[in-house]
Chains A and B, each alone.
Chain A
Amino acid sequence: MSDLNKNYYEKITFRDALRLAIHDSMQEDEKIIVMGEDVAAYGGAYGATKDLLKLFGPKRIIDTPISEAAIVGASMGAALTGLRPIAELMYVDFFGMSMDQIANQLAKVRYMFGGQINAPMILRAQGGTGRSAGAQHSQSLETWIMHTPGLYLSIPYTPNDAYHLLRAALKINNPTIFIEHKLLYNTSGILDKNNPDQIFGKAQIRKKGKDLSIISYSRMVNFAEKAAEELAKQKIDVEVVDLRTLNPLDRETIIESVNKTKRALVLSESCYTAGVPSEITSIIFEHCYTNLLKPVIRYTAEDTPAPVAPNLEENYIPTIEKIVEYSKKLCK
């Protein structure tokens, strides 16, 4: 990241887009601090805070003990008293250690105290499969957050969204959970600092189509795009919807897309039962059912923990081949 001050990057990694977002926000707002395990000297487990210690010093880039509950709780306390922390939990799986502070405290302080105070902070965490990290380092736990009113939830796919959604979360006053898929850090794309793809809370249509809506978020959007390319060769015109934020959830775009295509496949790395796709499927049924030509398909990870063995892990989550296969069946 040699040049921090450009407004347009033809090709930037997801990781660097995040670093730039944190950097630019910290330059603008002295109340922003970064705290978490190995965020300073190490530069973040996945490098998203690399070099920030040199630029901002240990007062603002703070290495914490391995105390996930207290990281979230202390960040909230700082947010209630004038700072705007970006807390990092290395893996979303560690939400298990801090769920009281996330769900019982952070999500509810504003409401319980009758709107007296906001807790403006971001909790970043990295999730998903793909590195044989095992059952305790590979989960997609966005459902836990989505089921907890009071927390905004961003789950970007592109570098441009990583940058703009993080920047946006630092300007709104709600606590925001920010989930980054571990296999996206090295992916790259355009970053235009002056051009967010959409306003915060709106889904983005990655590809327009008329035969089938594939609704997804995070890394699975990439699978949807690749499947759509293959399906295009077979004359099936897929619309790819990238939700980008799960709270707020852009119901209108989902409904509009499915009412147009009349077929839907909801794609996610969370487990099948009671996952984010279950909610989206319900919305589609509630609002599109007279238009639906086929039942809605939820294509997700299995209802099992994530296995380590690469050949098992690969098939634990959706595959592009099967997205193509299911899509063809839906469009028959």
Chain B
Amino acid sequence: MTQSNTLLPNLYKTMKRIRTFEERVGELFIKGETAGTMLHLSIGEELGPTCLGAAMQKQDTFTTHHRGHGIFIARGGDPKKMMAEIAGKKDGYCKGKGGSMHIADMKLGHLGANAIVGGGIPTVVGAGLSSKYLEEDKVSVAFFGDGAMQQGILYESMNMASLWKLPVVFCCINNQYGMGTKIDNAAGLKDFSKRAASFGLNTLHIDDLDIENAYVKSKEIIDKARKFEPGFIEVECYRFFGHARMDKSPYRSEEEEIKMRKSDPISYASNQMLKNKIMNEDEIKKINEKISIEMDEAMDFAINSPLNNQKEIFTDVYDESEPLPISVEERINKILS
């Protein structure tokens, strides 16, 4: 295959890996093996993380929102360690202490998922500042949802990035819903690029399923950021399922869901590959099977990973050279003795 013929299959594979991972997270939940129910799946939203993930370079850093599994997979996250984290187990990326919404891996430049809407956005401003100061050629990308478009911290951060000409990109994955509130009921101006452009950022609005084109355009924005022209990307998509595992979406109609789920970036990419004879059905099936096995193994790994020792409650609050916090039991026993 020529180089142009490997791009779409590679993007397809990443999207399919994200989707399958999220499906297995759903299964892990049904098996009662997840730590809690705060699981925000990104099924239907694979295009944005995949094309930006591919357009970023190895040394680049990023933060994500609460619906960030897909971004992490697109940046090389290990599904086994991710799944173990979601299960709250010892082998997880954060020893099971962060969970789905606080997963991070400094080695892969993942500066942290965030459970506060907009909470991780200013982190990339600081990372951009470091990159420029230390001359490290790292772009830092903040991923967040449409909910964060209504948070003040985004505008403080976009202003700083613009003012200081930082290698930073703000990426809004607009899945149309902030929990159960539709974007029409949350945003006075839905053309988010206009907001970002008013801060002097380069902007890009992706609103179709052509991932190759989205990849090329996002790469342009990221490349400009590397030359200290910060940017903003909005990727429009649709959250196929509820906000979290317990949400049955009472705020939207079944008709809407059926209609919108037809805008599936994975089916679209697969049809494109068939149509342009880049891959045949058998080849696609083989890829899918391989991914299925990989994610089954990740789920098994999580289920079989050991639980934490109880002392892990107290570790990692402070630097390891500092004393551990005193337990309540120790305090009480000292008083009673």
Return A26 CB to nearest CB of chain B, in Å.
Answer: 13
Asked if A149 CB lies within 8 Å of chain B CBs, one says yes
Bound together, the chains give a CA A100 to CA B156 distance in angstroms of 14
Q: Are A114 and B317 in contact (CB under 8 A)?
A: no
Task: Please tell me which stretch of A62-70, A153-161, A182-190, A300-308 contacts chain B, meaning at least 4 of its Cβ atoms lie within 8 angstroms of it.
Answer: A62-70
Asked if B298 CB lies within 8 Å of chain A CBs, one says no
Asked if B335 CB lies within 8 Å of chain A CBs, one says yes
In residues 73-96 of chain A, which contact B (Cβ within 8 Å)? Answer: 73-83, 85
Q: Which residues of B contact A174 (CB under 8 A)?
A: 318-319, 322
Task: Please tell me which stretch of A115-123, A209-217, A235-243 contacts chain B, meaning at least 4 of its Cβ atoms lie within 8 angstroms of it.
Answer: A115-123
Q: Are A77 and B152 in contact (CB under 8 A)?
A: no
Q: Are B335 and A113 in contact (CB under 8 A)?
A: no
Asked if B112 CB lies within 8 Å of chain A CBs, one says yes
Nearest-CB residue, chain A, relative to B90: A114
Q: Are B95 and A77 in contact (CB under 8 A)?
A: no
Q: 1/0 per position for B108-141, CB-CB distance to A under 8 A?
A: 0001101010011111111111110110101010
Nearest-CB residue, chain B, relative to A104: B116
Q: Which residues of A contact B136 (CB under 8 A)?
A: 82
Q: Are B116 and A100 in contact (CB under 8 A)?
A: yes
Q: Are A101 and B92 in contact (CB under 8 A)?
A: no
Q: Are B160 and A286 in contact (CB under 8 A)?
A: no
Partner of A69, one of B131, B153, B321: B153
How many chain-A residues does the 8 Å CB contact rule pick out? 43
Task: Please tell me which stretch of B44-52, B98-106, B244-252, B260-268 contacts chain A, meaning at least 4 of its Cβ atoms lie within 8 angstroms of it.
Answer: B98-106
Q: Are B319 and A74 in contact (CB under 8 A)?
A: no
Return A248 CB to nearest CB of chain B, in Å.
Answer: 8
Partner of A112, one of B61, B98, B126, B152: B98
Asked if A232 CB lies within 8 Å of chain B CBs, one says no
Q: Which residues of A contact B61 (CB under 8 A)?
A: 81
Return B225 CB to nearest CB of chain A, in Å.
Answer: 15
Nearest-CB residue, chain A, relative to B320: A115
Return A114 CB to nearest CB of chain B, in Å.
Answer: 3
Asked if B271 CB lies within 8 Å of chain A CBs, one says no
Q: Which residues of A contact B98 (CB under 8 A)?
A: 112-114
Q: Which residues of A contact B120 (CB under 8 A)?
A: 105
Q: Are A76 and B126 in contact (CB under 8 A)?
A: yes
Bound together, the chains give a CA A290 to CA B125 distance in angstroms of 54
Bound together, the chains give a CA A59 to CA B334 distance in angstroms of 51
Partner of A74, one of B102, B126, B318, B334: B126
Q: Are B160 and A65 in contact (CB under 8 A)?
A: yes
Bound together, the chains give a CA A117 to CA B93 distance in angstroms of 12
Contacts A65-B163, A77-B111, A174-B319 given; does A115 touch B95 at CB 8 Å = yes
In residues 184-238 of chain B, which contact A (Cβ within 8 Å)? Answer: none
* Chain A residues proximal to chain B, CB less than 8 Å: 33, 59, 64-65, 67, 69-70, 72-83, 85, 100-101, 104-105, 109-118, 149-150, 152, 172-174, 248, 286-287
| Further contacts, 5 of them, CB under 8 A, given A67-B159, A105-B120, A109-B112 | A65-B160, A74-B125, A78-B130, A114-B93, A172-B321
